[in-house]
Structure 1
Amino acid sequence: MKEIIGRIDEKRILEQTLKSTEAELIAIFGRRRVGKTYLIRKFFQKQMIFEFSGVHNATLREQLTNFSNTLAEAMKLPVPPVIPANWTQAFQMLKNYAEPLLKKNKCVIFLDEFPWLSSAKSGFLPAFEFFWNSWGTKQNNLILTICGSAASWMIQKVVNNKGGLHNRITRKLRLLPFTLAETGEYLKHNNVNLDHYQIAQLYMVVGGIPQYLKDILPGQSAAQNIDRICFTKDGALQNEFNNLYRSLFAEADKHILVVRALADKPSGLTRKEIITECGLSTGGTATLLLEELTESGFISPYLPFEKNTRDSIYKLSDEYSRFYLKFMESSRATGTGTWIKLSTTPSWRSWSGLAFESVCLKHTKEIKAALGIAGVYTEESAWRYAPGKGRQGAQIDLLFDRQDFCISICEMKFSTTAFTIDKAYAAELVQKRDVFKSKTKTSKTLFIVMVTTFGTQDNSYKLGLIQNDIKLESLFK
């Protein structure tokens, strides 16, 4: 499957379904434009007998009409069959079509944008439950795949279903954005040849979202591509922000409110702080909202050192959202050269540091490998100490609490050349380490790790203070 970049674990699981001797019900979810539909289409292209996708905000009549037309295409009928009166009839038509084919070969039925099919009063989910439980489970050659971008809906209504689908899902896949290495591989597949630094700059703007990366053109630098897709009137990402959230969430304004609050507080906010900042009601509403954003991949919770999940710190993890709110939303400048000009401003310097830090937090597996502790049990966490007025606090965005009785404290810095530790920054690192040791009362050995784009310049401040020096290239392995 050379056309499928990365997705090693997912391909292994899908391969197992082809070898299965029982009916398989696969639930695949992940944020919009991450490549869910592409993966299923490409992997099962030889076994696919029916593919149908829900339409956002379509009426029941419109969905059923689309179903009838799609079934006619699959059956190669010159005239579409009668439009089913309801979903129970629709699934009966699908059953009649699929049954003869299932007697001969392994077959895949793919229902895409599943949450959009299950609109209010549509009767879709009960009809689907009956279809699967009364017929689908008995078809040993059937692989039924359901997919949705509304990740939280998929988990609540399908994966954790308490009714007819309870414990019926045989495989579940949460598709994540590409890693840096997969992004590089994808760009190379599209004849885009850029070095690691250029790829990292793109990643800091659009993340590892295949649909966004598809617009990166060969022969252009990262800055030229960013100019074109973000700052021209016809740029692919010019209006993506609002479309992205409103297509996923019924009350998107509240979700956007949380995203804005986290964009303004790079160090992150607790659940309680988010509720206060956004004026949300406490209880289930806030919990559901945070879950929806988390499962859709827009925000990420980080567990503070020696704390429980109740104390989690939420951070904005979607690169495009951070970039849009920082530079695109209120920018007066547009057209060629916009990003090159913006990248000389103080705003760029502060943004690039935060964006690079976010990238590092998504590549902790690669950082651990570079540290030589891939085989050591570790617990990743963040830590912050906020004392009263007039007293100095400290914050650590990533640390590895290791079973070998050590703790690696990671400092992440983005720079255009080798990073230089000066006297002031060295004192800051020492203070951070000492405050952490004092307040946590840990007896473990503390190592300070620098994760930078081009490494850390050797000087007297680095010597004896920095135990590990990790370069950007290590995040691509």
Structure 2
Amino acid sequence: LNLEYGDLYRSLFTRAERHIAVVEALVQKSKGLSRKELLTAAGLTDGGSATTTLDELEQSGFIRRYFPFGKTKRDALFQLIDPYSLFYLTFVKDSKAEGKGAWLAQMNSPRWRAWSGYAFEYICRYHIDPIKKHLGISGIYTEVSTWRSQRGENGAQIDLLIDRNDRIINICEMKFSVKPFTIAKDYADNLRNKISVFREETGTNKTLFLTMITTFGLKANNHSAQLVNDSVGMEALFL
């Protein structure tokens, strides 16, 4: 894996250092960057060559361009979606870990938990159709997006919205856990605030359904009973 990363990009792209700079800028911001933010972070000058670099990465499946809820093409964000690049830049590049057990030793570390959560979100986004099937809305036209509050860097954000043509929006929370996920009081309060701020800032009058997408299901308690409309386990993604 140590050598394959550079070889991969050089085999696909002319002036691959530009493409690598974009990818390594995006890995620092899991939710994505605007074009201006991305080019600044990657040290690239805005112009035709930058557009070509971004287009090539997008068309090759390394990055994606997406539009937050209620925004236009001018507000597009770019996000790293290539699993290998994410894994390499998180665990292999500049790593001092060697020998047997090096990978297992990192499990449950903060870095491993962050990577696991991001990787699970990536899997969910690429399995929207099975999620819709599980929710019983396969035949309904939908638009998939994200949303971030305008109340500063630490404001509420929603990483997956399914905006349905039947005047319902599924607010999806994607949670990686090695056991059934439990909604604790603090997290329940956070969810209530997130839903309230979303309705207030967007002005939507659609019905909002909270949907939990988890690896091993949702543990039932008072918070889940009061808040959650739908629960989707990881097994539903691969049916």
TM-score band (shorter)?
Answer: over 0.9
Q: What amino acid sits opposite 1:427 in the alignment?
A: D
Output one character per residue of 1:331-375: Cα deviation in whole Å (capped at 9) or x when no partner. 111222111111131211111111111111111111111111111
Aligned Cα RMSD in Å? 1.2
Report the counterpart of residue 296 of structure 1 in structure 2: 60
Q: What amino acid sits opposite 2:106 in the alignment?
A: L
Residue 440 in 1 paired to residue 202 in 2? yes
The TM-score normalised by the length of structure 1 is: 0.49
The TM-score normalised by the length of structure 2 is: 0.96
Separation (CA, whole Å) in 2 of partners of 1:238 and 1:277: 24
Output one character per residue of 1:173-203: Cα deviation in whole Å (capped at 9) or x when no partner. xxxxxxxxxxxxxxxxxxxxxxxxxxxxxxx
Matches within 5 A, 1:211-226: none
Separation (CA, whole Å) in 2 of partners of 1:278 and 1:328: 20
Identity of aligned residues (%): 51
Separation (CA, whole Å) in 1 of partners of 2:80 and 2:212: 22
Cα displacement (A) at 1:239:
1.8
Could you tell me which of 166, 172, 183 is aligned with 1:410? 172
Residue 362 in 1 paired to residue 126 in 2? yes
Report the counterpart of residue 7 of structure 2 in structure 1: 243
Q: Is the 8 A contact 2:210 2:228 kept in 1?
A: yes
Separation (CA, whole Å) in 2 of partners of 1:398 and 1:284: 31
Cα displacement (A) at 1:388:
4.1
Output one character per residue of 1:229-255: Cα deviation in whole Å (capped at 9) or x when no partner. xxxxxxxx3321101101111111111
Q: What amino acid sits opposite 1:409 in the alignment?
A: I
Residue 259 in 1 paired to residue 35 in 2? no
Q: Is the 8 A contact 2:2 2:93 kept in 1?
A: no
Could you tell me which of 382, 387, 405 is aligned with 2:151? 387
What SS does the corresponding residue of 2:227 show, helix, strand or coil? coil
Separation (CA, whole Å) in 2 of partners of 1:418 and 1:318: 27
Cα displacement (A) at 1:386:
3.5
Separation (CA, whole Å) in 2 of partners of 1:453 and 1:322: 20
Could you tell me which of 220, 235, 239 is aligned with 1:473? 235
Could you tell me which of 69, 77, 85 is aligned with 1:305? 69
| Residue ranges of structure 1 left out of the alignment (5+ in a row) | 1-236
Runs of 4+ displaced beyond 4 Å: none
Could you tell me which of 358, 372, 375 is aligned with 2:136? 372
Distance 1:462 1:400, change over 3 A: same
Q: Which has the larger radius of gyration?
A: 1
Residue 423 in 1 paired to residue 182 in 2? no
Report the counterpart of residue 398 of structure 1 in structure 2: 160
Report the counterpart of residue 463 of structure 1 in structure 2: 225
Separation (CA, whole Å) in 1 of partners of 2:219 and 2:152: 35
Q: What amino acid sits opposite 1:457 in the alignment?
A: K
Q: What amino acid sits opposite 1:438 in the alignment?
A: E
